[in-house]
Amino acid sequence: MTKKEFSMQCPLPVRDYPRVLLAHGGGGKLMHQMIEKIFASSFQNEILKKRHDSAILSLPSSKIAMTTDSYVVRPLFFPGGDIGSMSVYGTVNDLAMAGARPKYLSAGFILEEGLEMETLWKVVQSMADAAKECGIELVTGDTKVVDKGKGDGIFINTTGIGVFEHSQAIEPQSIRTGDKIILNGDLGRHGIAVMIAREGLSLESQIESDSASLADLVMKLLDLKVEIHCLRDLTRGGLSSALNELAETRGVQIRVEEKSIPVREDVHGACEILGLDPLYVANEGRFLVFVKAGDADKVLKVIKSHPLGEAASVIGEVTKEKDPRVTLVNQVGTSRILDMLSGEQLPRIC
């Protein structure tokens, strides 16, 4: 079900405590044993080793980015990912969208009484592997245990800190008329992969989540030394919601071409069966880049050279100021307003 198989065994004596007990959140020996054996052993670093109430950080920049997020995805494991790796990637991606290099991470775990220790171990190991891949250190954390039936296995809250190694203002307010909009890949795989796993659906092809860290790709774009106006990842609400948020925030009109937006055939087919629109389905490894028209080809070339950008394309442009809205030009050249959803198509997908 996941991108990798977990071969290591849970270090806790599972024959004695195969599941999480309320006592594991009570501050006594069982809690300390779980923290040391599962969490501390997985995220070893000099800052965490001090076991202080607060992490003391040395930051090489006077300007930092900070983000926080919570992860409640169901099921915990799905094709292409799991709640552990996604909680790291999602936080890292939010920092990268500001143009910051991910540096430090905190994690709070809310565990439901009765959760299998082996499941907890797999989630934590997946987080540890993802953090190592992203070059981010988990430096502080917390665990709480709630009564059985009051949670859903595991909820994870993260906070990330990143540092700036450039002076660009990468934000919605920097978007300009004439900017080209680049999308780094196909849409909809994460939301559909989670939905298929949740409902136990069977399709001819295996659809895996696109869950991944975007930080490396963003750092390569920053190395270009071109003017990047805005970055935005396409999570809940998908492409449509992200475009509408940016148009409203900046007060501009945006036009996108449907024929330039990549959606895999199997994802498109699954969306038709489920009554979903791939433009509104969540992603965990897709983002938009707003750049000057003259820099678009150079930026697109770098994105396409990266494994997460092989299907990248220029999908539209910022047309003018005022009267903020997003217009979609379909395959036959007809335009329509691309609105933001009033609710959410797929709950509990991150």
Please give the Cα distance from 102 to 70 (Å, whole number): 17
CATH code, 128: 3.30.1330.10
Distances (CA, A) of 20 to 118, 147, 247: 10, 10, 46
Q: Does residue 343 form part of some domain?
A: no
Q: Does residue 14 form part of some domain?
A: no
Same domain, 137 and 232: no
CB 289 within 8 A of CB 301: no
Q: Does residue 57 form part of some domain?
A: yes
Same domain, 122 and 226: no
Same domain, 138 and 245: no
Domain hosting 223: range is: 172-337
CATH code, 193: 3.90.650.10
Same domain, 194 and 135: no
Please give the Cα distance from 195 to 274 (Å, whole number): 9
CB 92 within 8 A of CB 49: no
Q: Does residue 15 form part of some domain?
A: no
Query: Over its length of 350 residues, how does the chain's per-residue pLDDT go in tens digits?
Result: 445 555 567 776 655 789 999 999 988 989 988 899 899 999 989 998 888 889 999 888 789 999 999 999 999 999 999 999 999 999 999 999 999 999 999 999 999 999 999 999 999 999 999 999 999 999 999 999 999 999 999 999 999 999 999 999 999 999 999 999 999 999 999 999 999 999 888 787 889 999 999 999 999 999 998 999 999 999 999 999 999 999 999 999 999 999 999 999 999 999 998 889 999 999 999 999 999 999 999 999 999 999 999 999 999 999 999 899 999 999 888 999 999 887 667 788 99
**Number of domains comprising the chain:** 2
Same domain, 197 and 302: yes
Beta bridge partners of 104: 137, 161
